């Protein structure tokens, strides 16, 4: 079993060129599935039983689980289940907009908590997560050179591209305060504690994973102090996407947040059919008037 999972992990890393975060998510999903499966090799009933237990999860989570199983079934050459997962993934509804449990008042309370506790590092991380909807790994991997006077450049772990945004007032303020409180030479938040025979990528992932848990604990303490329901750092990304969705289309959301496909962006977009129909009628009217 361990040998199989190790080989699967290597195939994700080398053949599929998945990011370390994605690899760990896939491994966790597959491990959960295999533990719940009653047959060896697993069959459709095992897949249905596993997905039934995910009914309370968000559409995004279900899609990730499906993608993980699809990759595993492809690796194990389980053609029937691979095809079955493709059908399920295709038919997963994506037209219901995601709702955020956070709001501007809750975010303001959380930000005030970090300011009150003079926690400059957590404040900057919080501002970058909430203002830009960045992934936690993208924030923790930031370097001093990624900041200019008016902008910040995030390396998107999924698309392997950079996205540059102007500094928000909060981010600009907290970045300046953090630089005064910390001796930053290269990476803003990571330490260079290289271990023997460790690659640069492995060291970066290890340090990010370690700091990610610390950030998570800080957020939990903050939420508890502010009487806010526990939320993961990724929920700040959901909140920003929900807030921006009314003013952006799916293509713009996809580029802003660095998603590979439109399927995730579509979960945030709630199409106003009245507006769409009015635009269609207006375009048709202009076309017909041009023929007169």
State which residues form the domain around 32: 2-91
Q: Are residues 53 and 128 in the same domain?
A: no
Q: Are residues 216 and 149 in the same domain?
A: yes
Residue 225 structure tokens: 């102090």
Confidence of residue 95 (pLDDT cuts 50, 70, 90): very low
The answer as to whether 281 is a domain residue is no
Q: Are residues 43 and 135 in the same domain?
A: no
The answer as to whether 64 is a domain residue is yes
Structural domain ending residue among the three candidates 66, 91, 116: 91
179 against 230, higher pLDDT: 179
3-state secondary structure of 149: coil
Quote the CA–CA distance of 253 and 22 in Å, as a whole number: 21
Q: Report yes or no: 236 and 129 within 8 Å, Cβ to Cβ.
A: yes
**pLDDT tens-digit map of 181-196:** 998 888 999 876 666 6
Quote the CA–CA distance of 114 and 137 in Å, as a whole number: 20
For residue 234, what pLDDT is reported?
84
Q: If we measure between CA atoms, which residue out of 103, 163, 175 comes closest to residue 132?
A: 163
pTM of the model: 0.66
Whichever domain contains 162, its CATH number is 1.10.443.10
Percent helix / strand / coil, the chain, rounded to 5: 65, 5, 30
Structural domain ending residue among the three candidates 41, 57, 91: 91
Q: Are residues 9 and 81 in the same domain?
A: yes
Q: 10 Å Cβ neighbour count for 141?
A: 21
The answer as to whether 271 is a domain residue is no
For residue 194, what pLDDT is reported?
62
Q: Report yes or no: 2 and 31 within 8 Å, Cβ to Cβ.
A: no
**pLDDT tens-digit map of 256-281:** 998 887 877 877 876 666 666 777 88
Confidence of residue 70 (pLDDT cuts 50, 70, 90): confident
Q: How many residues in total does the chain contain?
A: 292
Q: Are residues 108 and 236 in the same domain?
A: yes
Confidence of residue 218 (pLDDT cuts 50, 70, 90): very high
Output the 3-class SS for 40-88: CCCCHHHHHHHHHCCCCCCHHHHHHHHHHHHHHHHHCCCHHHHHHHHHH
Radius of gyration in angstroms for the set of CA atoms belonging to the chain, rounded to a whole number: 22
**pLDDT tens-digit map of 202-216:** 777 788 888 888 999
């Amino acid at each position: 079993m361990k040998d199989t999972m190790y080989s699967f992990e290597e195939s994700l890393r080398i053949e599929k060129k998945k990011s370390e975060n994605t690899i760990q998510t896939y491994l966790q999903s597959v491990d959960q599935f295999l533990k719940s499966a009653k047959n060896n090799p697993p069959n459709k009933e095992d897949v249905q039983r596993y997905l039934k237990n995910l009914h309370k999860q968000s559409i995004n989570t279900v899609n990730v689980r499906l993608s993980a199983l699809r990759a595993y079934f492809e690796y194990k050459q389980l053609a029937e289940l691979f095809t079955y997962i493709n059908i399920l993934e295709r038919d997963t509804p994506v037209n219901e907009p995601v709702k955020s449990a956070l709001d501007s008042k809750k975010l303001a309370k959380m930000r005030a908590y970090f300011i009150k506790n003079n926690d400059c590092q957590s404040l900057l991380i919080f501002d970058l997560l909430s203002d830009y909807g960045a992934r936690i790994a993208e924030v923790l991997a930031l370097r001093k050179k990624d900041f200019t006077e008016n902008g910040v450049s995030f390396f998107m772990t999924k698309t392997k591209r950079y996205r540059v945004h102007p500094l928000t007032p909060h981010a600009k303020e907290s970045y300046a305060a953090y630089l005064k409180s910390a001796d930053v030479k290269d990476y803003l938040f990571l330490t260079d504690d290289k271990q023997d025979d460790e690659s640069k990528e492995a060291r970066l992932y290890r340090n990010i994973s370690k700091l990610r848990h610390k950030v998570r604990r800080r957020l939990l303490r903050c939420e508890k102090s502010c009487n806010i329901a526990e939320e993961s750092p990724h929920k700040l990304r959901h909140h920003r996407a929900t807030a921006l969705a009314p003013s952006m289309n799916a293509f713009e959301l996809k580029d802003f947040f660095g998603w590979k496909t439109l399927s995730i962006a579509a979960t945030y977009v709630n199409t106003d059919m009245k507006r769409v129909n009015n635009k269609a009628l207006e375009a048709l009217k202009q076309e017909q008037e041009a023929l007169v």
